[in-house]
Amino acid sequence: MGDYHRNLKALGEGKTEYQYDNPTANILETFPSPISETNQSEIVIEAPEFTSLCPVTGQPDFARIVIAYTPDKLCVESKSLKLYLGAFRMHRGFHEECVNRIVDDLVSVLNPVRIRVEGQFTPRGGIKLWPSVTWEKKGAS
How many CB atoms are located within 10 Å of the residue 69 CB? 23
- To the query of whether residue 54 is one of the catalytic residues in this protein, the response is yes
Three-state DSSP string of the chain? CCHHHHHCHHHHCCCCCCCCCCCCHHHCCEEECCCCCCCCCCEEEEEEEEEEECCCCCCEEEEEEEEEEECCCEEECHHHHHHHHHCCCCCECCHHHHHHHHHHHHHHHHCCCEEEEEEEEEEECCEEECCEEEEECCCCC
Residues 69 and 115: beta-carbon distance below 8 Å = yes
Q: Which of 61, 75, 98, 105 is catalytic?
A: 61
- To the query of whether residue 98 is one of the catalytic residues in this protein, the response is no
State the catalytic residues: 54, 61
